[in-house]
A and B are shown apart, each in its own frame.
Chain A
Amino acid sequence: MAFLNSINISASGLTAEKLRMDVISRNIANVNTTRTADGTPYRRQVAVFMEDNRQIPFSEYLNDASKSLIGSGVKVAGIKEDKSPFKSVYDPGHPDADENGYVLMPNVDVMTEMVNMISASRAYEANVTAINSTKNMALKALEIGRG
């Protein structure tokens, strides 16, 4: 395992949560976009997380069973589109209204995005605390034998 691997793990968490924030910001910014490049309304996007497991050779499993089970943090598997249907709003004056006066609005719910934003923010803070804690532990270890 790399030296100070804990900090790499927490850093992967920071990157993932920041990417999630970017996706959430994009969703919120496009909450009223009825016309994208291909003519359809904006589709909500979701960042999908997965655990980043390094490939463990079998010999390492046998030799060092205690350490191999800890993963290497989190990575973003991809940014996928939310397949739920668009919201249909009655607005005959809108340029994009169809013949019945209904406009297809993006399937973005601002409340949901806000809650996700808070969650991402808290997770980011937790990862920062973990990095600080690891750093303090490592610095304390340097004091063995001093004085």
Chain B
Amino acid sequence: MIDRLNEKTLMLEKALDAAWLRNEAISNNIANVNTPGYKKSYVKFEELLEDAVDKFQISGIKKDDKFLPIGKDTLASITPVTVQEKFTSMRRDKNNVDIDVEMAELAKNSIKYNALIAQMSKEFSKIKYAINGR
């Protein structure tokens, strides 16, 4: 029964990890805004979640974690993916970092992170309330 307490927060935990990783990618983009030839990288997570939820797909059941999955995985096994945008250019020196977009992404990501933290705290408060009765 104790592991069922963790179900709700598992997804939040993954989203938090993805947001932290995204923050790192954005920091790297900002640090390299003036580096010639640098290509920006970004982190995909929410789109992967959407894909997994929306589409009806064949999925296989794994007897053991070490087997390769068939079809779409369960929600629990989606990990964030870092992508490098190699084929665009903003300037003549082939750098494709747009500082305005990066700052906006930074703000958005920060807000998303705070919202996830608030949600997670509420989940734990609920559990504590159930345990204490008040």
Contacts and interface: CB of A to CB of B under 8 A. Distances in A.
Q: Do A and B bind each other?
A: yes
A130 B118 CA distance: 22
A35 B48 CA distance: 62
Interface residues of B, number: 39
A68 B99 CA distance: 23
Task: State the majority secondary structure of interface residues on A.
Answer: helix
Interface residues of A, number: 45
Interface string B108-131: 001001100100110011000000
A144 B121 contact: yes
B82 A69 contact: yes
B117 A144 contact: yes
Contact of B30 (A10, A67, A140): A10
B110 A136 contact: yes
B82 A67 contact: yes
Contacts of B5: none
B103 A49 contact: no
A50 to B, nearest CB: 6
A70 B33 CA distance: 15
A13 interface: yes
A94 interface: no
Contact of A123 (B82, B84, B99): B99
A122 to B, nearest CB: 7
A79 B114 CA distance: 41
B36 interface: yes
A110 B16 CA distance: 47
B30 A130 contact: yes
A9 B99 CA distance: 16
A17 B32 contact: no
A123 to B, nearest CB: 5
A111 interface: no
Given A5-B24, A70-B41, A134-B27, A143 B32 contact: no
Interface hub of A7, A17, A145 (most chain B Cβ within 10 A)? A145
Interface of B: 16, 19-21, 23-28, 30-36, 38, 41, 43, 79-84, 99, 102-103, 106-107, 110, 113-114, 117, 120-121, 124-125
23 contacts: A1-B24, A5-B24, A10-B27, A10-B30, A12-B31, A13-B30, A51-B32, A51-B35, A66-B21, A68-B82, A70-B24, A70-B25, A73-B27, A73-B31, A123-B34, A127-B30, A134-B27, A137-B19, A137-B23, A137-B114, A140-B113, A144-B120, A145-B121
- The 7 A-B residue pairs with the shortest CB-CB distance, nearest first, are A13-B31, A49-B35, A69-B82, A6-B27, A9-B27, A73-B31, A6-B24
